[in-house]
Chain A
Amino acid sequence: MATTVSSTGTEAGIQNVFAFIRRRWLWLLIAFLALLPIIGGKTGYISNFWFLQLSLMIVYAIAVLGLNLLTGFNGQISLGHGAFFAVGAYTAAILIDQAGWPFWATLPMAAVTCFVAGYLFGLPALRLEGHYLALATFALAVAVPQILKYRHFEGFTNGVQGINIFKADPPFGLPLSSDQWMFLVVLAVAVLMFWIARNLLDSRTGRAMTAIRDHAMAASTMGINVPRYKAVVFGISAIYTGIAGALHAIIFEFVSPDSFRFELSIAILVGAVVGGIASLPGAVIGGVFVQMIEKYADALTKKISAAVHLPLELEPWTIYGIALIVLMYTMPTGIAGGLAALWRRMRRS
């Protein structure tokens, strides 16, 4: 008797734990990540190199989220978000290098600069639809590295040389390496940015954004000022990608025009699509994907070329294409959508 009671007691206890995990998994995950520097760093399981990799994934997740807000939730395409990434990165680098600002103070400034840049770019882009908007944004992505190299801006941008900055040490003598400290900073900024995005999407502004995507004409008959909304969303989207750029500059300690070539824009777009367009978890997956490709596409391409002798030269970018095609066929709604469908199927059976 007593044993049965106690065993059902533990069973109920375990069930409670599971229920708690299911309800709070997101916060548990964030807490786990926040403790990583202590768990992994102190025990030496996770090297500074890996903290940098994780930080970069999170940074790209914020960048992808920015594009997701624009394309996924508002239906405007951009092949040029690398430009806003660059603007954010240079804003941070110039302010740290030349004005001696602390790194954290550059983030709001990058946000302001990028909002203005995004809004101003979004205004004339309103007259463009579909392919033409894609073309205009692509032109932006191609132009920005050239502008950064422009001779008369060299006083600020340092031309092709780029700008070196130095990572901040952890404050208050915290026993962390600067990579671990920056990982925590990036994580905190990301949590804040995703939280803001979720609330935005859940507000009347978010519903208006989606309504415009689904049917712009009908949205205007609901009293929504469609042109102004689209320009503002362009600005907000640029804020996200620009803050990601600023964080990238800070943790990478370096900016140069060639870090922001149009391939970056494509990477952000592919990340958004692969992760799952119009999905917040999709943005996280997309960020991980972008960093993995950035890091391993080259090596993977060489490996494949060595293993199978193809009658053509493989470029690292081929991997992007292959990954995209495979994913589009197997998971048309992105990895996030695919996982959600899988999860529903498992629950049903």
Chain B
Amino acid sequence: MALLEVEGLKAYYGQTQALHGVSFALEPGGITTLLGANGAGKTTTLRSLCGMVRTEGSVRFDGRPISGRATEAIVRLGVGHVPEGRGTFTNLTVDENLRVAAYTRRDKAAAQRDLDMVFEYFPILKARISQQAGTLSGGEQQMLAISRALMLGPRLMLLDEPSFGLAPLIVQEIFRIMRRINAEAKVSMLLVEQNAALALELADHAYVLETGRVVMSGKASVVKSDEAIRKSYLGY
């Protein structure tokens, strides 16, 4: 059974419709990427999955319908959202940011284990533990955003352009760690990226979005090697 099943998803900002019936599915354990140009509706898709915008259509997580539910309820089911722009709590310390993330955890021992795991993936955060999060570098803030989502103990992580505004070397490091998290912590991922080449390296499945519709989908390896697809949809 698919971990996430999206069917005929429409999303609205006030009167404006941003998604026009998006359908896709995510297999458990994998990394799927959602590609598309600026304004294609990638961020809106992630927001729709988390109940942050008004939607129509069906979203099932683990077989359970989640459309229409409140964001915090969806999060508690095991959906970690790394939002566009990182969403750092700038005036809290790194430690406090992570503790906010452990907010919903009842099992404190498991939360502590996850904290240790986070520090193993991102040792730099441990070194910055009592630093005000707003003063972290962009890369460190992205690591913090991923760590926070990880602290929810999620089964699915939604990542909105984690490479945005970062130096290539940092991006490579973060993507390498994301692969480890996927493999070791068994967290499935839905990765939104503008940087298609990079995302296709990491993902095993890809969807391409254009003005609120899925226009192409396939195995990442196929999409990557098909020059016609690359030229017409991804522009590289």
Contacts from A to B (Cβ < 8 Å) = 204, 207-208, 210-211, 213-215, 217-226, 278
Contact = CB atoms under 8 A, between A and B. Distances in A.
B72 interface: yes
A75 to B, nearest CB: 10
B30 interface: no
Closest 3 A/B residue pairs (Cβ): A218-B87, A223-B104, A221-B81
Contact of B83 (A211, A213, A221): A221
Nearest to B158: A221
A217 B92 contact: no
A224 B89 CA distance: 13
A224 B87 contact: no
Contact of B90 (A214, A221, A223, A226): A214
B111 to A, nearest CB: 12
B50 A211 contact: no
Interface of B: 50, 52, 70-72, 75-76, 80-81, 83, 86-92, 96-97, 99-101, 103-104, 148-149, 152
B100 A222 contact: yes
Contacts of A224: 72, 100, 103
A217 B160 CA distance: 14
B152 A211 contact: no
Given A207-B92, A207-B96, A214-B88, A223 B103 contact: yes
B72 A218 contact: no
Nearest to B76: A223
B92 A220 contact: no
A210 B92 contact: yes
Contacts of A215: 87-90
A128 B70 CA distance: 18
Given A204-B100, A220-B72, 10 more contacts: A204-B99, A207-B100, A211-B92, A215-B88, A218-B83, A218-B87, A221-B80, A221-B87, A222-B152, A224-B103
Nearest to A204: B103
Contacts of B99: 204, 207
Contacts of A222: 75, 100-101, 103-104, 148, 152
A55 to B, nearest CB: 33
Given A207-B92, A223-B72, A217 B52 contact: yes
A231 B126 CA distance: 35
Contact of B91 (A204, A210, A221, A226): A210
Contacts of B88: 214-215, 218
B87 A217 contact: yes
Contacts of B81: 221
B166 to A, nearest CB: 18
Nearest to A229: B72
Contacts of A214: 88-92
Contact of B89 (A204, A218, A226): A218
A125 B152 CA distance: 30
Most chain B CB inside 10 Å of its own CB: which residue of A204, A214, A226: A214
B149 A221 contact: yes
A208 B103 contact: yes
Contacts of A219: 89, 100
Contacts of B52: 217, 220
29 contacts: A204-B103, A207-B92, A207-B96, A210-B89, A210-B91, A210-B96, A211-B89, A211-B92, A213-B91, A214-B89, A214-B90, A214-B92, A215-B87, A217-B83, A218-B87, A219-B89, A219-B100, A220-B70, A221-B75, A221-B80, A221-B81, A222-B152, A223-B72, A223-B103, A223-B104, A223-B152, A224-B72, A226-B71, A278-B91
